[in-house]
Amino acid sequence: MRLQEVHFSYSPQAPVLREINLSIAPGERLILLGANGAGKSTLLSLLNGLLQPTAGSVHGDQRRVSTVLQDPDDQLFADTPLRDVALGLLEQGFDDTTAAHTARAALAQMGVEHLAARPIFSLSLGEKKRVALAGALVVRPEVLLLDEPTAGLDWPGTEALLDTLQSLSAEGTAIVAATHDTEALLGWASRGLVLAGGRIRCDLPARTLWAEWSRHTAGCGLRAPALREESRC
């Protein structure tokens, strides 16, 4: 997927993104960093086709892009995980048996198959996030977009989620995550992009961004990441 000279504004007097040039390769683990209002969520919406550029172009098949929202309660609609994950397949014309079998496999991939028949309202936040991720992956996207994927998770839950995302990346799924959780995700990412004032301030390998943090983020309103014992770069 590629964005070329993309501009976006909700009104002529309020530009949100300017001169965005971005290419996303299979298997990449790209994090979008920036203060509130920097344009991270708008960029995700351009990538999944919910918004169209005011100027410039987005190249790529947006039918092969899936999004997982920050709050899974905004994304889960059925009464059980199995039925929720199967919804996307049923809407694509799969029969009930095939949809249920494929949905169960997606839940198993996320480690929550044992929750397939549980009422969704009874699940923990981490379990709901995994169900939402299964629903996004069941349609086999080439690009997976995540909005604040670790929000509300404790560190063990964050580690488990990042291990799952690492496996997806190794299988060729490109992952783009907008986040404020620099400590967790910069160590997991292969690439870091910083947005400031609606423009790309820097686009670097994650290791380089971590090592040269102050140089590339000065004035962006971002807190320097604390060191973790383990890095997945």
Domain ranges of the chain: 1-61+142-196, 78-140
Separation CA 160–CA 201 (nearest Å): 31
Beta strand 143-147 with 65-68 is: parallel
Q: Which residues of 74-101 are buried (b: 16+ CB within 10 A; e: fewer)?
A: ebbeeebbbbbbbbbbeeeebeeeebbe
Which pLDDT belongs to residue 102?
A: 95
Which pLDDT belongs to residue 61?
A: 80
Separation CA 11–CA 131 (nearest Å): 36
Nearest to 187, CA basis, from 179, 199, 196, 195: 179
Domain at 1-61+142-196, CATH from 3.40.50.300, 3.20.20.80, 3.40.50.720, 3.30.505.10: 3.40.50.300
> Is the distance from CB of 28 to CB of 54 less than 8 angstroms?
no
Contacts of 185 by beta carbon, 8 Å cutoff, 6+ apart? 31, 149, 150, 162, 177, 179
pLDDT digits (tens, 9 = 90+) for 108-156: 988 899 999 999 999 999 899 999 999 999 988 999 999 999 988 888 8
Contacts of 138 by beta carbon, 8 Å cutoff, 6+ apart? 85, 86, 88, 89, 102, 103, 106
pLDDT digits (tens, 9 = 90+) for 47-98: 999 999 999 999 988 778 999 999 999 999 999 999 999 998 998 899 999 9
Confidence band of 229 (pLDDT split at 50, 70, 90): very low
Which pLDDT belongs to residue 209?
A: 95
pLDDT digits (tens, 9 = 90+) for 38-58: 999 999 999 999 999 999 999
Question: At residue 134, what is the residue type?
Answer: A
Separation CA 205–CA 103 (nearest Å): 35
pLDDT digits (tens, 9 = 90+) for 149-180: 998 888 888 888 899 899 999 999 999 999 99
